[in-house]
Amino acid sequence: MNITEIKSELIGDSYFKINHPSGLTIYVYPKEGYKSSYAIFGTKYGSINTCFSVDEGEKITVPDGIAHYLEHKLFESEDGDAFVRYAKTGANANAYTSFEKTCYLFSCTDKFDESLEILLDFVQDPYFTAQTVAKEQGIIGQEIKMYDDSPDWRVMFNMLGGMYKNHPVKIDIAGTVESIAQITAEKLYEIYNVFYNLNNMVLCVSGNVTVEQVIKTADKMLKTSEKHNIKNYFEDESYEICEPYVEQNFPVSMPLFNLGFKEKADEILNAEKLAQTDILLSMIASQTSTLYRSLMDANLINNTFSYELFEGPGYCSVIFGGESRAPKQATEMIKQYICKIKADGLERSDFEIAQKAVYGDIVSSLNSVSSISNTIADYHFCGNELFSYIEAVSKTTFNDVSKRLSEMLDVNNCTLSVVKQAENEV
């Protein structure tokens, strides 16, 4: 077993990386003086991984929504529901499926070891039958309809559909009623045995814990896995968007918009590029930015306005969005501002404010045990590391960010998605 201490001289903190003999990578971030603990157990398998091969074998294609379906079913066992077991330890448990990963988690202030045993037990112990799988189709079918009735969900996926022609990121994480009807117990076991291999997974623990107690539980619960070569396949995706504008009528009190700039997605951004991008976006659209104040003064946005870098295997975009009485006008102002700073250059004073803000946000997040574990897990799956990112933020220069601006935010390669009342003027 290999245990490495990862230190940050910059912030004077450290955590531990454990390469467990089972094949699982474990991170432990002890927080002295904290009463709560948090653990997240995730696999690098999400909604976009619908076509893959194992050990250079034949391509396997599975139905859309099967990763999310599996997440639901994994809580069940012959002995009952994992949530019932958690109720006895007092832990607060949950799970989620995203585009590129599936994670199971809990937080607690007591009986951490027992709760960690439950987590490692049920995630490693699948139980699927034809009857239980069929029963879940109705439940998830209702969930899909609920998402279809969510304006926030629809405005995002309509935008992704306008940006991406082939990449499965445009497909709803839960799939469709038709696609989940194709899911069987055999298919669930097939993908479980491929992607829920401990070599493809990570466990991140933080808070009132020690390395020794996590290793003790891991040694007791983990089943050794043979490593396999998993290859995911995605159809070629051009740089160009498909549709510049997508609209859907919805009974909303105010229109919603998502403006997505499709970026090149040759590779996942490393810590340096990620830091540069985060600082740039803070300069452009944070609440202290010129653009934000201009949009607010024009009554084109409210405090729901947000921005994010949205990236994963084979996809990357920058998204601005929120409520707006006039989404097209807001979009035009955003695009004009981007053109202006590309032509005239960025302000050094804006850079200094944004760099301090991004640095302050990531360092302050280390006061939250859930933020620590979630971020470490995210970075693990994309080949980055928490302290390397913090250091990259501190070392990013004004010229780095100016160069980054020249590489992205093409105003001729963006999609505006709007959800509004049928009678509203946009």
Does 173 have pLDDT greater than 90?
A: yes
Q: pLDDT at position 425, please? A: 46
Q: Which CATH number fits domain 245-420: 3.30.450.40, 3.20.20.70, 3.30.830.10, 2.40.30.110?
A: 3.30.830.10
Give dist(CA 63, CA 79) in Å, integer: 28
2-150+164-232 and 245-420: identical CATH topology: yes
Mean pLDDT of 243-253: 95
34, 49 in Cβ contact below 8 A?
no
SS3 letters across the chain: CEEEEEEECCCCEEEEEEECCCCCEEEEEECCCCCCEEEEEEECCCCCCCEEEECCCCCEECCCCHHHHHHHHHCEECCEEHHHHHHHHCCEEEEEECCCCEEEEEEECCCHHHHHHHHHHHHCCCCCCHHHHHHHHHHHHHHHHHHHCCHHHHHHHHHHHHHCCCCHHHCCCCCCHHHHCCCCHHHHHHHHHHHCCHHHEEEEEEECCCHHHHHHHHHHHCCCCCCCCEEECCCCCCCCCCCCEEEEECCCCCCEEEEEEECCCCCCCCHHHHHHHHHHHHHHHCCCCHHHHHHHHCCCCCCCCEEEEEEECCEEEEEEEEECCCHHHHHHHHHHHHHHHHHHCCCHHHHHHHHHHHHHHHHHHHHCHHHHHHHHHHHHHCCCCHHHHHHHHHHCCHHHHHHHHHHCCCCCCEEEEEEECCCCCC
Q: What is the pTM of this model?
A: 0.94
Give residue-wise pLDDT tens across range 309-332: 999 999 999 999 999 999 999 999
Does 337 have pLDDT greater than 50?
A: yes
Give dist(CA 279, CA 350) in Å, integer: 10
Please give the positions annotated as active site: 71
Q: Where are the domains of the chain?
A: 2-150+164-232, 245-420
- Crossing angle of the two packed helices 327-344 and 271-285, in degrees rounded to 10: 120
- CB neighbour list of residue 355: distance below 8 Å, 6 or more residues apart: 279, 393, 394, 396
The two beta strands, 25-30 and 201-207, are parallel
Per-residue pLDDT band for 426 (boundaries 50, 70, 90) equals very low
Give residue-wise pLDDT tens across range 362-397: 999 999 999 999 999 999 999 999 999 999 999 999
Give residue-wise pLDDT tens across range 97-130: 999 999 999 999 999 999 999 999 999 999 999 9
Architecture, CATH, for domain 2-150+164-232: 2-Layer Sandwich (3.30)
Q: How far is CA 18 from CA 229, 339, 369, 372, in A?
A: 21, 47, 18, 16
Mean pLDDT of 297-305: 97
